[in-house]
Amino acid sequence: MHKTATKLADGRELVYYDQESGTTRNAPDERPLEPAASLSETRLDPVLGEWVTVAAHRQQRTYHPPAGECPLCPSRDGRLSEIPAADYEVVVFENRFPSLALDSASHVAPQDGPLHTLRPGTGRCEVVCFAPDHDASFADLDEAKARLVLDAWSDRTAELSALPEVRQVYCFENRGEEIGVTLSHPHGQIYAFPFVPSRTARMIASAAAHRTRTGRNLFEDLLATERATPERLVLQGEHWTAFVPFAARWPYEVHLYPHRRVPDLTALNEAERAEFPGLYLDLLRRFDRLFPAPAGSAPNRTPYISAWHQAPKDGGEELALHLELFTIRRAPGKLKYLAGVESGLDAFVTDVSPESAAARLRDAATH
């Protein structure tokens, strides 16, 4: 992997990732951009004990631009975008409309009260462009390009974790308008949080309770149990296993674990990195085959969220790195909406049994 770091016109960092060493990416950003101030805040919910980010400036972010005005395409033919180069393999840059930003501390004063606790939204939000082709998808990448994305995720995890303001790094992809994506170019995001999000905190608490009860690690026991339960397995490799969880919340939900417990992406070894691209691409393509498109129409692309769960910098020794992939589509033309009990009470009701979902995903293999 070869890195080329540069700055955009407003001072934001941009990093090109290429497979070949010595690749030159030195095109300057010629746009007349002024630095943008972030007014992000994090506020503590006194009832749930959870942090909520307030980022009102994001109302002005780019929203469903025409393909010819996509800010994630390379700068070509006189049209300047967020990526100055005329081509790229993988590129990562600071979001111009971030939910969290390091300079928030310069603009937002902390507050402390009996029930009102507020902090600047100090963190970092980055955009990861997987390919220069506007109409592509992650599933269209070959294994070498998917490996390059994995290496970029790992590199960003290491760099962002080193920031003193950051407690947890979260790499993820949202795909599809149904999910809420506002830019259709193949891309994901990375959030570097100044706090440990509540879902991670609940995982850590569950792992601690399991350790107290059994003396063992929760995630190691979970993986061993699922690997011994064929009815929910989707695919297995030498170093990774993908399964539908016993208590899946989404219609089609798959968790992908390395067999060796590691805290984050930086701790994966070469064998694990080498096997991951093929398995992950297989999973994504199975998701796309769940709901075949009508004959003569464009190929189906199932909306999904793909999320890496990594241990925070401190207090997460029991947490195991894993990826959670799920779709909100429950049937052709039908979505799983988070309605009263899910949105109002966080009590999920699933429409597809985990065992049936696993069977369909196994049947969606190409061979």
The domains of the chain, with CATH numbers, are: 2-195 (3.30.428.10), 199-363 (3.30.428.10)
Please tell me the predicted confidence (pLDDT) of residue 103.
93
Please tell me the predicted confidence (pLDDT) of residue 295.
66
- DSSP codes, 266-304: GG--HHHHHHHHHHHHHHHHHHHHSSPPPTTSPPP---E
> pLDDT 10s per residue in the chain (367 long)?
999 999 999 999 999 999 999 888 999 999 999 988 888 999 999 999 999 999 988 877 888 899 889 999 999 988 999 999 999 999 999 999 999 999 999 999 999 999 999 999 999 999 999 999 999 999 999 999 999 999 999 999 999 999 999 999 999 999 999 998 999 999 999 999 999 999 999 999 999 999 999 999 999 999 999 999 899 999 999 999 999 999 999 999 999 999 999 999 999 999 999 999 999 999 999 999 999 877 666 778 999 999 999 999 999 999 999 999 999 999 998 999 998 999 999 999 999 999 999 999 999 997 5
Please tell me the predicted confidence (pLDDT) of residue 297.
65
Structural contact between residues 291 and 302, judged by C-beta atoms closer than 8 angstroms: yes
Bridging pattern class, strands 124-129 and 168-175: unpaired
Catalytic residue among 185, 187, 210, 255: 187
Torsion of Cα atoms, 24 then 28 then 34 then 38, to 10°: -10
Please tell me the predicted confidence (pLDDT) of residue 292.
82
Active site residue 116: no
Q: How far apart are CA 88 and CA 72, in angstroms?
A: 11
Please tell me the predicted confidence (pLDDT) of residue 329.
94
Strand runs labelled E in the chain: 2-7, 13-18, 41-45, 50-54, 90-94, 111-112, 117-120, 124-129, 168-175, 187-193, 233-236, 240-243, 252-258, 304-309, 322-327, 329-331, 334-335
